[in-house]
Structure 1
Amino acid sequence: MPALTVKLVGAIALGIIFQFYYGRGSMPSGDTGNYYKQSRIVMQAFYDSPATGIKLLLSKGEYNSSTVRYASRMYWYTSSTEFFVIKVASFFGIIGLGSYAVIALFFAFTSFSGMWSMYLTFLKLYPNLHKQLAIAIFFLPSVFFWGSGLMKDSITIGALGWLFYGFHTFAIEKKSLLKAAFIIFISAYVLYTVKVYILLAFLPPALFWIFIENNRKIRNTLLRNLAKPFFILIGLGVAYLGATNLTEGDSKYDIDNIGERTKINAIYLTEQVATGSAYNIGIFDGSLSSMITVGPQAIVVALYRPFLWEVRNPVMLLSAIEATIFIYLTLTLFYKTGFFKSIKLITSTPILLFSILFSIVLAFAVGTNSGNFGTLVRYKIPLMPFYLSALYIMRYHYLVKRPKKLVRLATTA
């Protein structure tokens, strides 16, 4: 109940902030306001003619004589990503009689369902960390604020949670295969439709997770070590094929265009900032090689910035506090455990390797694609529960092994 409560509060708080802090008080502004305004057009179509409303809900951006009077008023009608969110909001709005608050609460509950599934998955692996995992997944301010209201982020982080749950059930536990496959298909479709780069970031680490788990089941040490490189090569190959096939022909995410699109988007977002929240990770020309060059800075930006002295507004302050906590936990863990021992722990623990790899890949993607902290804080929320959960799991391993070390030292003395 506390976890669900903060999601519901986050949904209402986002609407209030965008109505009275960023807007003029009459209606929420920004993306959340635009989604609501355009969903009202679909709702109106449904009230005028249920058949027309259903046609709009099922349409893929095409125009016809019965829907054109409504569709022509929606400037996101032909944008598949935004229109998907509008359709979800419209469906909830029809149930909730057009109330923004009710729609936002439905979005919060949808997001919560996926994050609860994520929590249960982690809990199966580390039941003793129920409090720490709850903090990592439910109680990070940025996550429950940006990932609860009428926004893309609520849908995507919920879908990511369900994908993580379905993947673990299907590929790792190998239980309830039909149910898990259905969950994987639906959640992957939602991510593919709304934010395909999250799916692309999830795919390679997930495949590595499968191969490592299967590799560990090989009892013969020599055979296990010989098989590991082949598993890695197969994982890289499947990940590459998946990435190229999923994005083929997409003007934003096609592998041939992604570098140039990232450059254009980062420059645009940087130039649009008038609040001093822009950041600079270096110069890149749009090529994949230049993106790799600025990659380390992009990862640092996404995981550990803004710093406290870079704060320009209250929203940035929350993000800066979270980033500072990430820095502190990361440095203290690596210091106490030792850098090489920490790397060994990560590579030898499948869930840790998956969580860290996913966080790094997504941090690289959003760090190079944002350009300012205002958008970065939204883009990076899918990685935050996984990264903080990984830090708590590493700390748990350190604390579990520490008493054994102390016993050995006492015995030796």
Structure 2
Amino acid sequence: MMDLKDLLLTPIYLIMIYAIAYASRNKFTTPKTKKYFIPALTVKIFGAIALGLVYQFYYHGGDTFRFFIESEKIYNPLLDSPKIGIKLLLATGEFDPETYQYASTMRWYTAQNNQLIVKACAFFSLFCFRTYAVIAIIFASICFTGVWALYTTLLKIFPKYYNQLAVGVFFVPSAFFWASGIMKDTVCLAMLGWAFWAFYQGFVEKKNILLSILVLSLALFIIKVVKIYILLCFVPAAGLWIFMENSKRIKSKALRLIATPLLIAIGLVGGYFGSTYLTSDDDKYSVDNIAETAAVTSDYLDRRTDKIAGTGRRTGSSYNVGKLDGSTASMIAAAPQAIFVSLYRPFLFEVRNPVMLLSALESTWFLWITLMMIRKKGLTKIIQLITKTPLLTFCLVFSLMFALGVGLTSGNFGTLVRYKTPMLPFFVSMLLLLRAYSKIPKSKNSGRVLASKYQVRG
């Protein structure tokens, strides 16, 4: 898919992107964060190009190229008949006499989650002579703006830990590889970053409320179109966060002790009903149908057993979290395995290919950090710190819900590693902050355990 045109044009566009980055760096950085601005952009661009190369020479095709190929069916009309091309860009799956000859040939015309990526490719093609690598680095650059917004927001809460947060947000290999190129995960991660930035600014800091609501609404709308199940995780966690923030503003300890459980319950219930409303028009990922979706996925993978070998086992990199029958009870029973699979597997001995090795090394690192924290500080103190720190509570709730969802519905490590990438900056940042806490000597536990705006005390 990448050819001579990519080799000739990509360097030119890279020079343009880096020129913009260097010119704007001082505006969006501080003396401490400035050193990460260009490296963070670079790993996103590297990930976008590496993804294309892996899909071309290792997988010999895949979704990233399908999006690009499909976009030609919008790009050509944009050049030949702009009116029809614009209609196709704005279409939401309906058929029109003027656009039918093009729309009827589109594989994903009625699948708006995929079609959004196709439309973006077609639009960007207008400015880069329809060059795959250039479009990929444009996707990466847009995603970079979202993750930088996420990073700077986290630093407002934990200003001392800019190194740890940089690692968690920018430099986790799976995140900058799978969520940098022409992929749905790239868009979702970018929008999550902007949603997090807008939510914190508007509802926690209560500044620039109108702008924050506009950015949050746009980001959540795009996430809803592309991967609606992410809202099932973000909205309840955000609702819980805001109510925990409000409980901290109650000065009376006695009143706070009484009000906190009530506020948490209200936050969770409000988040649940918010998620129910946002996903009500999606039959597959609505709150009521998520258990059935997981069961259908599990049954499909069960039928894809290794019939040639006659082993009756799932093929390739598939995994099993237990029997799912579409009931809530079966989903709850499978939840611990699904969460563990998402966060800490595959193990190194489960590796079946070079790409899977990357995920296995990461998951081993995550597991090691978790076990070391528990060994040094104990599970009880770790939980106490999380529950006293609204941001850490948000990260934990979001990560657990996300891990449960993708763990139940992915079915194999190949798709799991891609699906979980939007979760990784939140989960890894939480791990690294907690590891920083675990390294603090016991003699200092009576003081601030994490230098944050929350001034959490042990």
Question: Which deviates the most, 384-393 or 269-278?
Answer: 269-278
| 2:294 alignment partner, one of 259, 262, 286 | 262
Confirm or deny that 1:316 pairs with 2:356: yes
What is the DSSP-based 3-state SS (H/G/I as helix, E as strand, rest coil) of the residue aligned with 2:361?
A: helix
Question: Residue 81 in 1 paired to residue 113 in 2?
Answer: yes
How does 1:192-341 map onto structure 2 within 5 Å?
192-269=224-301, 276-341=316-381
Amino acid in the other structure paired with 1:51? K
- Mapped partners of 2:415, 2:202: distance in 1: 34
Q: What does the per-residue CA deviation read over 1:18-40, in whole Å, with 9 as the maximum and x for residues that have no partner? A: 111111xxxxx111111011111
Secondary structure class of the residue paired with 1:255: coil
Q: 1:20 aligns with which of 48, 54, 57?
A: 57
Contact 1:270–1:371, Cα closer than 8 Å, also in 2? no
Residues 270 and 372 in structure 1, CA contact (< 8 A), matched pair in contact too? no
Residue in structure 1 matched with residue 183 of structure 2 by the alignment: 151
Residue 87 of structure 2 corresponds to 55
In the superposition, relative to structure 1, how do residues 272 and 128 fare at CA in structure 2: closer, same or farther (>3 Å)?
farther
Change (3 A) 1:363 1:273: farther
Q: Give the deviation of 1:255 after TM superposition.
A: 2.6
1:110-131: CA deviations, max 9, x gaps? 1111111111111111222112
State the alpha-carbon separation in 2 of the partners of residues 155 and 270 from structure 1: 31
32 and 269 in structure 1: CA distance in 2 versus 1, 3 angstrom threshold = farther
Correspondence list, 1:99-118, <5 A: 99-118=131-150
Contact 1:270/1:278, CA 8 A, preserved across alignment: no
In structure 2, the residue matched to 1:353 is 393
1:392-407 aligned within 5 A? 392-400=432-440, 402=442, 404=444
Distance in 1 of aligned mates of 2:354 and 2:192: 28
Which residue type is aligned with residue 50 of structure 2? A
Q: 1:57-90: CA deviations, max 9, x gaps? A: 0011111121111111111001111111111111
- Aligned equivalents of 2:239, 2:253: Cα separation in 1: 22
Give the 3 Å change call, closer, same or farther, for CA 100–266 of structure 1 in structure 2: farther
| Alignment partner, residue 310 of structure 2 | none
Q: Deviations over 1:217-238 (max 9, x none)?
A: 1001111111112212211221
The secondary structure found in structure 2 opposite 1:276 is: coil
Letter in 2 for 1:151: M
Q: Deviations over 1:276-321 (max 9, x none)?
A: 2000111110112210110000000000000000000011100000
How much has 1:135 moved relative to structure 2? 1.1
Number of aligned residues = 402
| Counterparts of residues 125-144 of structure 1 (less than 5 Å) | 125-144=157-176
CA distance in 2, matches of 1:224, 1:71: 58
Letter in 2 for 1:18: Y
Aligned partners of 1:270, 1:125: CA distance in 2, in Å?
45
Does 1:370 find its partner at 2:410? yes
Displacement of 1:364: 0.4
| Equivalent residues of 1:39, 1:89 under 8 A apart | yes
Distance of 2:363 and 2:298 partners within structure 1: 21
Give the C-alpha shift of residue 346 in structure 1. Answer: 0.8
Q: Deviations over 1:138-160 (max 9, x none)?
A: 11111001000001000001000
Residue in 1 that maps onto 2:421: 381
**Tell me, what secondary structure is at the counterpart of 1:95?**
coil
SS at match of 1:73: coil
Flag the structure with higher helix content: 1
One-letter code aligned to 1:156: C
Runs of 4+ in 1 over 6 A off after TM superposition: none
**How far off its partner does 1:404 sit?**
2.1
State the Cα distance separating 1:405 from its structure 2 match: 5.4
Over 3 Å counting, the alpha-carbon distance change for 1:12 and 1:273 in structure 2 is farther
- 1:4 maps to what in 2? 41
- Partner of 1:410 in structure 2? none
Residue 93 to residue 268, structure 1, CA distance change in 2 (3 Å): farther
Q: Is the 8 Å Cα contact of residues 71 and 118 (structure 2) preserved in structure 1?
A: yes
Structure 1: which 5+ residue stretches go unaligned? 24-28, 408-413
**266 and 94 in structure 1: CA distance in 2 versus 1, 3 angstrom threshold:** farther
Q: CA RMSD in A?
A: 1.6
Partner of 2:26: none
Contact residue 36 and residue 89 of structure 1 kept, 8 A: yes
Matches of 1:380 and 1:238, distance apart in 2:
25
Change (3 A) 1:199 1:395: same
3-state SS of the aligned residue for 1:383?
A: helix
Alpha-carbon spacing, 1:272–1:56, altered in 2? closer, same or farther (3 Å): farther
Aligned match of 2:16 = none
Offset of 1:102 from its aligned partner?
A: 1.2
Q: Structure 2: give runs of 5+ residues left out of the alignment.
A: 1-37, 307-314, 448-458
Further displaced range: 121-130 or 321-330: 121-130
Contact 2:235–2:272 (8 Å) recurs in 1: no
Output the CA distance in 2 between the equivalents of 1:401 and 1:231. 33
Equivalent position of 1:66 in the other structure: 98
Shift of 1:401: 5.5
Counterpart contact for 1:269–1:370, Cα < 8 Å = no
Taking a change above 3 Å as real, the CA distance of residues 273 and 6 of structure 1, as seen in their structure-2 partners, is farther
Work out the CA distance in 2 between the residues paired with 1:269 and 1:382.
24
Q: Which residue identity is paired with 1:15?
A: G
Q: 1:400 Cα deviation (Å)? A: 4.3
Aligned residue among 68, 72, 97 for 2:129: 97
**Does 109-118 or 390-399 show the bigger shift?**
390-399
